[in-house]
C-alpha cells in the first residue's frame, strides 16, 4: 500500500484513540523517533529499518533518512509485522505522533489534515445530497399521489361526461326525427290549412248574417296570417282551428245584439235575436214589428203579429233578464 493511499484513509476518531494509547520516544539529537509503546510493549524503529546509512548527524541526510526510516516503518507495520494492530489508520497515527516534535511534523500533519478535511467535506456533501434526495423523493411521492388521485377523478368525470354525451346524442337523434316528421307534416298540412280557410270563408258567407263585422275581421286576419312566411305552420294551423271552434260555438248559444239592417230599402236599427244557427229574428225598437232572415232568399222577411209577444220574451231571455222558458217561434223548415 502506498503512503498516499494510507493518508487518504485516516479518520479523526482513530487519531484520538492512538493519541491516548500509543507513547513515542523521540531522539531530539537525531530528530527522529526511536521507540513507541503500545499495550505494554516497546517497538524500536531501528529494528524495522534496514540499510540506512549512519549519517543522522547531518541535517539534510538525516531528514532524507528519517523519511525513509518512517516509510519503511509504516510499510513493515502495514504489511503484517505487528499483527496485534495492523490497521492503516493506526500506522498513520503512529507516524503523526513520531513526527509531531520535528520540523517535518508540519509537512506530514498537513498531508494528513488535507485528506481528513476532504473526507469530511465529501461526507458532508454526501449527507446533504442524501437529505436533498430524500426531500425530492418525498415531494415526488406526494406529487405522484396527487397525480394518481387527479387521474382517478378525471377518469370518473370522463365516464360521467361520456354518459351525458350518450344521453345528449340520443336526445339529438330523437329531435332530428321529430324535426324530420315536422317537416313532413308541414309539407302535408299546408294544403290542409289553405283548404280549411277557404271552406271557412265559404261557410261564413252562406251563414246567417250575424256579427258580420267581427266574423269578417277574423277571416281577413286569418288570410293574412296564412300568407305570412314569418309565421310557423303550427301557428297558422292553430289559428284556423281557433276560428273554426268560434264558429262552432255560435251554434250552441243564443245572443241579442242591436244592429242596423235594410228593411223595405231603408236602414233600420233593430234588436236581433240569434238562436244558435237555427234562426235569426229581429224586432224594431218600438216592438211593433218583427221578422226573420230567409237564408234561401238572403233577405229579411216580416212575421205575423202573433209572434211579437213570444219574440219579446225571447229577447229578454237572450239578454239574461229573465229565465229560460218554452216559446213558440218560427224556426223554418228542418232539412236532412
Greater confidence, 200 or 92? 200
* CB atoms inside a 10 Å sphere around CB 116: 16
- Pick the last residue of a domain from 225, 250, 275: 250
Say whether both 173 and 222 belong to one domain.
yes
Beta strand pairing call for 254-263 and 22-27: unpaired
| Distance between CA atoms of residues 327 and 281, nearest Å | 14
The reported pTM is 0.46
**DSSP letters spanning 218-262:** HHHHHHHHHT-TTS-HHHHHHHHHHHHHHHHHHTT-EEEEEEEEE
pLDDT in tens, 208-229: 888 888 999 999 999 998 888 8
Q: Is the pLDDT of residue 168 over 60?
A: yes
Angle at 13 between CA 10 and CA 14, to 5 degrees: 55
- Give the residue from 282, 333, 336, 334 showing the smallest Cα distance to 312: 282
Cβ-contact 223, 197 below 8 angstroms:
yes
Q: What is the CA radius of gyration of the chain?
A: 66
- Whether 161 is in a domain gets the answer yes
Average pLDDT of the chain is 76
pLDDT, residue 48, reads 47
| Distance between CA atoms of residues 128 and 292, nearest Å | 119
Say whether both 165 and 215 belong to one domain.
yes
Say whether both 236 and 272 belong to one domain.
no
- Whether 278 is in a domain gets the answer yes
Provide the 8-state DSSP code for 285: T
| The total number of structural domains that make up the chain | 3
- Give the residue from 300, 265, 305 showing the smallest Cα distance to 281: 300
What whole-number percentage of the chain has pLDDT above 90?
26
For 90-99, 123-132, 275-284, which range has the lowest pLDDT when averaged over its residues?
A: 90-99
Length of the chain: 336
pLDDT band for position 187 (cuts 50, 70, 90): confident
Q: What is the domain extent for residue 69?
A: 3-102
Average pLDDT over residues 44-56: 48
Q: Is the pLDDT of residue 27 over 80?
A: no
- Whether 224 is in a domain gets the answer yes
Say whether both 25 and 69 belong to one domain.
yes
**DSSP letters spanning 79-117:** TTS-TTS--HHHHHHHHHHHTTTSTHHHHHHHHHHHHHH
pLDDT in tens, 237-280: 899 999 999 999 998 888 998 888 888 888 889 999 998 888 89
Strands across the sheet containing 32-38: 22-27, 32-38, 41-44
Say whether both 164 and 225 belong to one domain.
yes
| Distance between CA atoms of residues 216 and 69, nearest Å | 142
Amino acid at each position: 500500500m502506498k503512503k498516499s493511499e494510507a493518508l487518504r484513509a485516516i479518520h479523526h476518531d482513530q487519531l484520538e484513540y492512538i493519541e491516548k494509547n500509543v507513547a513515542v520516544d523521540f531522539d531530539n539529537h537525531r530528530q527522529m523517533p526511536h521507540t513507541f509503546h503500545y499495550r505494554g510493549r516497546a517497538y524500536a524503529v531501528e529494528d524495522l529499518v534496514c540499510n540506512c546509512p549512519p549519517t543522522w548527524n547531518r541535517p539534510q541526510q538525516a531528514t532524507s533518512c528519517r523519511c525513509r526510516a518512517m516509510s519503511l516503518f509504516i510499510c513493515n507495520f502495514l504489511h503484517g509485522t505487528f499483527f496485534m494492530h495492523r490497521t492503516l489508520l493506526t500506522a498513520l497515527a503512529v507516524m503523526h505522533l513520531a513526527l509531531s516534535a520535528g520540523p517535518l511534523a508540519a509537512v506530514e500533519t498537513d498531508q494528513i489534515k488535507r485528506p481528513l478535511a476532504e473526507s469530511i467535506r465529501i461526507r458532508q456533501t454526501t449527507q446533504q445530497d442524501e437529505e436533498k434526495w430524500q426531500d425530492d423523493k418525498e415531494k415526488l411521492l406526494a406529487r405522484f399521489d396527487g397525480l394518481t388521485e387527479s387521474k382517478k377523478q378525471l377518469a370518473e368525470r370522463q365516464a360521467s361526461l361520456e354518459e351525458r354525451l350518450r344521453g345528449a346524442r340520443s336526445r339529438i337523434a330523437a329531435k332530428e326525427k321529430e324535426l324530420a316528421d315536422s317537416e313532413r307534416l308541414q309539407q302535408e298540412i299546408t294544403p290542409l290549412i289553405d283548404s280549411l280557410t277557404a271552406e271557412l270563408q265559404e261557410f261564413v258567407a252562406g251563414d246567417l248574417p250575424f256579427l258580420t263585422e267581427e266574423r269578417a275581421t277574423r277571416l281577413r286576419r286569418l288570410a293574412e296570417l296564412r300568407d305570412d312566411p314569418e309565421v310557423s305552420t303550427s301557428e297558422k294551423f292553430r289559428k284556423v282551428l281557433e276560428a273554426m271552434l268560434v264558429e262552432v260555438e255560435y251554434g250552441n248559444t243564443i245572443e241579442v245584439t242591436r244592429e242596423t239592417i235594410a228593411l223595405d230599402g231603408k236602414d233600420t236599427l233593430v234588436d236581433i235575436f240569434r238562436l244558435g244557427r237555427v234562426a235569426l229574428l229581429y224586432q224594431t225598437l218600438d216592438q211593433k214589428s218583427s221578422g226573420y232572415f230567409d237564408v234561401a232568399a238572403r233577405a229579411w222577411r216580416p212575421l205575423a203579429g202573433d209572434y211579437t209577444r213570444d219574440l219579446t220574451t225571447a229577447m229578454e231571455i237572450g239578454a239574461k233578464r229573465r229565465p229560460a222558458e218554452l216559446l213558440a217561434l218560427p224556426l223554418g223548415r228542418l232539412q236532412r
